[in-house]
Structure 1
Amino acid sequence: MFYRTQHFASALALCSTLGAVVSEAKIFQTPRDVHDATYDFIIVGGGTAGSVLANRLTEDPNTKVLVIEAGGSNEGVLASIVPFLGVSLPNTEVDWNFTATPQESMFNRTFHYARGHVLGGSSSINLLTWNRGSNDVWDNWANITEDQGWSWPSVEKYYLKTSRLVAPADHHNTSGQVIPAAHGNGPVQVSLAGFPSELDDRVINTSRQVGGKFRFNEDINAGDSVGFSYLQASIATDTRSSAATAYLKPVEKRSNLDIVLHTQATRLIQTGYRKDTPEFKAVEISNGPTSPCFLVHAKYEVILATGVVGTPQLLQLSGIGPKKALNALGIHSIVDLPDVGQRLADHPMLPNYFSVNSNGTFDIVLRDQSVFGALLEQWNTSGTGLFVNSPSNTLGFLRLPPDSAILKNRTDPSSGPLSAHTEILFVDGYAQFGDIPQPPTGNFLTLLTAVVSPASKGSIFIASADPFEKPLINPAIYSDEFDLLAMVQVMKDSQEFVQSPAWTGFVSATFGALNGVTTDEAMMTYARNFTVTVNHPVGTASMSPKDAKWGVVDPDLCVKGTLGLRVVDASVFPQIPECHPQSLVYTLAERAADLIKAAH
């Protein structure tokens, strides 16, 4: 999840942001240093999945790996280190700074699309929420792909390899807030909020007292992800724990690992045929649109970990995708795969603002640079205070009732009864989304409502044959009526929730454009006007059964109709999970590493 606020841009001027630090390991700044070299494996993308693969594949000292990263180092990027400051990272140099195309079902509005452009990828710039998905998510993937290797019983060991629970910054007693037995012993550090907000007890007490659709769930990472719970985040007590810090940093001195930064893969190069199947074992790379191109070669595989946007873009640029569309752009079609770039799904998210009777919200932090500076100093000197948290400490996942009119005459789009249809995130302040800035006065509650089982499907397609031109990203928000109806329902649920006794005297009124919005039609209009996404895109290189005519990769993540080419990132998800997806990408990559090792 991402949001942005212009107030952080000026506040961060108080901080002495450090420059990128390059260690003594073999980290290159230009493709000239690696061109014409041959590696066992080339990993395109040093993000979430790419970092996992770099770590696991180089466990064998005889396996030589190159990681190609378009962005720079994550080290010394202060806002990527301090959890609360993650909100300021979109629209900076560590973000690809994409923009969605005008959305027809949202009055042709467009919005920012944040993706990590830095080592660690989006795990270095997201808002840190840690969900592993319900058991149903994984079992559903296994059914879709006809491969039980993706079922929860099969992938559980890989999830347990990804992360471990650590103490929150305030070291409070977490009994009853999390189930330790549901967690593993991996490198990513996960913790509960280390600084309480005035919302926490209200959310949990309401959940416990009201129950029903608002029931309490002690740990949504224990198999059943429906209910209201304390938020778990990828925070190492008081600092971000990303793929770069957890997986790459510990191994960056391995002599069999090279990393080249500020370098973009521009094309995959066909290197031959085997049994009439094209083989892709070379990558064309460049520093930029005016820089020369160079080649690097893989002995065994080129692995795309370039993300939901970058993976279909690179495949299409390389002649792998819908033949007619590629030929129309002057790109020679090598492998006709119509689904490349299709099946894009994302979680639509909507801010609901309320005025509150409190001086304890974080609104003053965004308005007063002296308060901001004091909190930053507190974090720096003692690792305590507001900045040790992501902006939300609690969240809830809800299902529509089985007899809901929204589900009438249609298949339930969720993975199963252990997965939600909608989500509410509780933020103790004004969380800015879109172009409406924080009001100059007042204190606010933001309820972020989201549809986590969306039925809408969009696409990503290159705008031209120029690898440095940004692709056309169309998430097609609300193109399926289910999503808009579900958003209206969760808006109603959120208002019902804060009308419970625990909120008496705290919430005074709805605020801004939400004020006076009471009918379903008015709520739909509000949603169309103010929805963005949670930046959880998936599916643009979907997994499918080996012999299926649809999809892009098989259940082993190999690109159909090719040899030597595999995809390991969220683009392969066959269905969007009803949760924040970063943990699932780590788990996917852990299993992929074993699949790759077994193949070679």
Structure 2
Amino acid sequence: MHTLQGLLILTTFIAPGLCAVYQQLSDLRQDEFDFVIAGGGTAGAVLASRLSEVRGFQVLLIEAGPSNEGVLDAEVPLFASRLHNTIYDWNFTTTPQEFANGRIVPYARGHILGGSSSINAMAYTRGSIDDYDRWARVTGDSGWSWNKIFPYFKKHELFMQPTDGRNITGDFDPAVHGFDGMTRISLPNQLQRDFDARFIKAADELGGKFSYNLDMNSGKPLGSAWFPSTAGGGERRSSATSYLTRQIMKRKNLHVLLNTRATRIRQTSKSHSSKSHGPEFDTVETFGNGRGSRTFRATKEVILSAGTVGSPHILLHSGFGNAKELQSVGVKPLVNLPSVGKNLTDHPLLVVDFAADATEPNVLADPTILAEALEQWKTSRTGPLTNTVDNNVIWGRLPADSPFEDPSAGPNSPHWELLPAVNLGNAPEPHLSAFISLVSPASRGTISINSSDPLDSPVIDPAFFTAPVDVASARDGVRNIRTFYAAKAFEGYIKSESPPSAGAESDEELDAFISATFATTWHPTSTVKMSPKGADYGVVDPDLKVKGIQGLRVVDASVMPFVVSAHTQTAVYVIAERAADMIKRDWHERA
């Protein structure tokens, strides 16, 4: 994968008046910066942008993958899934999953500037009030509470009208959105008029748990709602396109190094230690495109933003973790943090299909329609390719009398998410899919290593469905989408449920279906979790500084103490926004 990458990337440019963008290690002459950010994904791009707002800061952003520039499948919203299993994906897989009878699950992660925000399905979902209040409670830092984090949602969001020009008054609550931020957000850019109308009628008809919710991003997501996305203006808005715009890239204090992998965080001869503060880790070791290794030193901080998989992988190879486990694979232990790589939490995913008399065109299955739609998108950023996979969503909870201990953050947090998709994929027959994501899972897995070579792949074990409540949530999700599609509003539209779920009624039959088909929603978190300052568990303090040392912070989805009951990219944006403010405050006070 990596050897082919060099043939496909854009050529190096260092244009007059623009920040330097380097395609390989040898192009970059400077070795020392104020901040070295390892990982140019969702959080890393935000940090590079915000920290370089301070003219006195010299900022280096290191990304393992290529540029996002000119990658059509990273621009067209409906083409998102085409980036999986390409050079823009790390192409990870899980260990054999016990609940799946040893099946291995593909585990896509973005290998491109913008990280997974450049290859995901662009869902803009925040989660619940309870999610963030739980973060504040378990970390002892009220700054992570919903009320304190809410301004960062508005700060990063630029809410836009859909590109079809329709009136969306009454379809969202403007009081909970931001209109001057960095990331363009929109409700669906083009309606699927027959299905969308039936969806709203079904929500009104059934009521109760399916009742219409004006705005699921208010912190109270439960119910049925329109599904917003980071496809504002009809094209993907990743952290790269939002926070590393051409104007931002003009900053002379911002440096972006592509196709270069951060492998370890190291101490150098300039580092020091003391009984009160511990050792300082100030150097990032890198490896670039088969051209050898090189180190970059941060005079202020190293910031690790390599993601839930990448950050613990780098930390473990740097000697952070359980001493015995590190020694067993030939890594010298340096910092005793047994929680590194533990607590992996992810949202498992199911798909239930229905045969339907869907009148909406199947864009991806008809080459003629697809060509016309692509031309429309190229000329006006309108049409069916401007949407993501879903226009609507239902968030729900297990019954109140469920015998299981509630794994969610509280009564505002859903256990499952139902996402209907009309004629999605290459199958020419009209059909309706329902994606079922378990958004408050109790199962916990690990990221580990099995060698001392940092270029070896991490060992990823999400341990899906090891908690019985997750299996119960999955069954409940299947039964609830069946209930919803049985509404009178869908008479004459949905014909029948399709295999392999068709006919699975009992718990045992549903469990067999779940075991044989589940995948991931690609929302891993919590492998470098934050905990209260001074706690003897966790990896980072609430200010995201690594415990027991100086000079190193972690800022990405890995620091979440619990996964949010939502798609995770929005939470990562606000984590990075708050982290940037904390870092600026720390260093302005010292200036």
TM-score by length of 1: 0.93
**Contact between 1:36 and 1:295, CA under 8 Å: does it hold in 2?**
no
Given candidates 132, 136, 139, the residue that maps to 1:142 is 136
2:128 and 2:413 in contact (8 A); partners too: yes
Once the two structures are superposed, the pairs formed by residues 30-41 of structure 1 within 5 Å of their partners are 30-34=24-28, 37-41=31-35
Q: Which residue of structure 2 aligns with residue 55 of structure 1?
A: 49
Matched with 2:182 is 187
Match 1:527 to one of 490, 514, 517: 514
Q: Confirm or deny that 1:253 pairs with 2:250.
A: yes
Mapping of residues 405-444 of structure 1, within 5 Å: 405=403, 407=404, 410=405, 412-431=406-425, 439=427, 441-444=428-431
Q: Deviation digits for residues 476-503 of structure 1, max 9, x if unmatched?
A: 0001111011100110000000000100
CA positional deviation for 1:384: 1.8
Conserved? CA contact 1:41–1:66, under 8 Å: yes
- Please give the alpha-carbon distance, in whole angstroms, between the structure 2 residues aligned to 1:177 and 1:18: 41
Instruction: Establish whether residue 196 from structure 1 lines up as the match of residue 169 from structure 2.
Output: no
Query: How far off is 1:291 after superposition?
Result: 2.7
Aligned CA distance change for structure 1 residues 225 and 371 (closer, same or farther; 3 Å): same
Q: Kindly indicate whether the alpha-carbon contact (under 8 Å) linking 1:202 and 1:503 is maintained by their aligned counterparts in 2.
A: yes
Structure 1 position 430, deviation (Å): 4.2
Distance 2:243 2:391 in 1: 26
Query: Which residue number corresponds to residue 100 of structure 1?
Result: 94
Give me the whole-angstrom Cα distance separating, in 1, the residues matched to 2:200 and 2:398. 20
Tell me how far 1:361 sits from its aligned partner: 4.7
- Aligned partner of 2:112 in structure 1 is 118
Summarize the alignment of residues 351-500 of structure 1 with structure 2, pairs less than 5 Å apart: 351-362=351-362, 365-405=363-403, 407=404, 410=405, 412-431=406-425, 439=427, 441-500=428-487
Q: Distance in 2 between matches of 1:254 and 1:508?
A: 57
Counterpart CA distance in 1 for 2:453 and 2:244 is: 31
Paired letter, 1:323? A
Structure 1 window deviating more from structure 2 (137-146 vs 394-403): it is 394-403
* Amino acid paired to 1:244: A
Distance 1:19 1:331 in 2: 36
Secondary structure of the structure 1 residue equivalent to 2:189: coil
Instruction: For residue 280 of structure 2, give the secondary structure of its aligned residue in structure 1.
Output: strand
Q: Distance in 2 between matches of 1:190 and 1:388?
A: 12
1:208 matched to 2:204: yes
Alpha-carbon spacing, 1:21–1:356, altered in 2? closer, same or farther (3 Å): farther
Partner of 1:3: none
- Is the Cα contact below 8 Å between 2:11 and 2:23 reproduced in 1? no
Unaligned runs of 5+ in 1: 1-16, 432-437
Q: Deviations over 1:265-302 (max 9, x none)?
A: 111111333314121001111114x4321111100100
1:450 CA drift (Å): 1.4
Deviations 1:129-163 (CA, angstroms, capped at 9, x unpaired): 00122111111100010111111121112121111
CA distance in 1, matches of 2:117, 2:14: 21
Alignment of 1:71-86 (within 5 A): 71-86=65-80
Which of 215, 221, 229 is equivalent to 1:219? 215
Asked whether the 8 Å contact 1:347–1:537 carries over to 2, the reply is yes
Greater CA drift, 17-26 or 209-218: 17-26
1:36, distance to aligned residue in structure 2 (A):
5.9
Aligned partner of residue 350 in structure 1, secondary structure: strand
Residue 327 of structure 1: aligned partner: 327
How far apart, CA to CA, are the structure 1 residues paired with 2:366 and 2:81? 17
Name 1:4's counterpart in structure 2.
none
Deviations 1:189-247, CA, capped at 9 Å, x for gaps: 00011111132112222112211111111101112111110000001221111111110
Equivalent residue, structure 2, for 1:174:
168
Out of 229, 233, 236, the position equivalent to 2:229 is: 233
Aligned-pair Cα RMSD in Å: 1.5
Superposition pairs for residues 511-522 of structure 1, below 5 Å?
511-522=498-509
Specify every segment of 5 or more residues in structure 2 that has no aligned partner in the other structure, as ranges: 1-7
**Higher mean Cα deviation, 147-156 or 296-305?**
147-156
> How many angstroms apart in 1 are the aligned matches of 2:527 and 2:219?
26
Q: Cα offset for 1:18?
A: 9.6
Looking at structure 1, the residues matched to 35 and 214 of structure 2 have their Cα atoms a distance apart, in angstroms, of: 42
CA distance in 2, matches of 1:368, 1:503: 25
Q: After TM superposition, give the deviation of residue 383 of structure 1 in Å.
A: 2.1
| Residues 1:279 and 2:280 aligned together | yes
**Contact 1:542–1:552 (8 Å) recurs in 2:** yes
Cα deviation, residue 20, structure 1: 6.8
Matched residue type, 2:94 = A
Amino acid at match of 1:242: S
Structure 2 CA distance for aligned equivalents of residues 56 and 127 of structure 1:
25
The answer to whether the 8 Å contact 2:544/2:553 transfers is yes
**Does the Cα contact within 8 Å between 2:356 and 2:431 map onto a contact in 1?**
yes
Q: CA deviation at 1:21?
A: 7.9
- Return the alpha-carbon distance in structure 2 between the equivalents of residues 148 and 106 of structure 1: 40
Counterpart for residue 268 of structure 1: 265
Matches of 2:347 and 2:434, distance apart in 1:
15
Q: 1:480 to 1:20 in 2, by over 3 A?
A: farther
Give 1:556's aligned amino acid.
D
Contact residue 66 and residue 258 of structure 1 kept, 8 A: yes
What is the total number of aligned residue pairs between the two structures? 570
- Report the identity percentage: 41
Instruction: Please say which of residues 239-248 and 27-36 is displaced more in the overlay.
Output: 27-36
Name the amino acid aligned to 2:147: P
**Partner residue of 2:339?**
339
What secondary structure sits across from 1:154 in the alignment? helix
Preserved CA contact (<8 Å) 1:58 1:64: yes
Q: Does structure 1 conserve the Cα–Cα contact (< 8 Å) formed by 2:546 and 2:553?
A: yes
Map Cα deviations across residues 536-562 of structure 1 (whole Å, 9 max, x no partner).
000000000112111110100011122
Say if 1:21 and 1:38 are closer, same or farther in 2 by CA, change over 3 A: closer
Check whether the contact 1:353–1:430 (CA below 8 A) recurs between aligned residues. Answer: no
CA distance, structure 2, for counterparts of residue 516 and residue 318 of structure 1: 51
What whole-Å deviation, never above 9, does each CA across 1:280-325 have from its counterpart, x for those lacking one? 001111114x432111110010000100010000000100111111
8 Å Cα contact 2:356-2:432 kept in structure 1: yes
d(CA) in 2 for partners of 1:485, 1:385:
39
8 Å CA contact 2:42, 2:115 repeated in 1: yes
SS at structure 1 position matched to 2:95:
coil
Give, in whole Å, the separation in 1 of the partners of 2:213 and 2:357.
28
Cα pair distance change 1:566/1:151, threshold 3 Å: same
| Matched letter for residue 151 of structure 1 | S
Aligned-residue offset at 1:32: 2.4
Tell me which amino acid in the other structure corresponds to 1:493: N
Instruction: Decide whether aligned partners of structure 1 residues 396 and 265 sit closer, same or farther in structure 2, where only a CA change above 3 A counts.
Output: same
The CA deviation string for residues 96-135 of structure 1, in whole angstroms up to 9 with x for no partner, is: 1111111011111112111111111111111010012211
SS at 1:392's partner residue? coil
Deviation at residue 507 of structure 1 after TM alignment: 0.8
Cα pair 1:351 1:449 within 8 Å, conserved: yes
Give me the whole-angstrom Cα distance separating, in 2, the residues matched to 1:163 and 1:139.
21
**CA positional deviation for 1:35:** 5.7
**Tell me, what secondary structure is at the counterpart of 1:387?**
helix
Secondary structure of 2:282 counterpart: strand
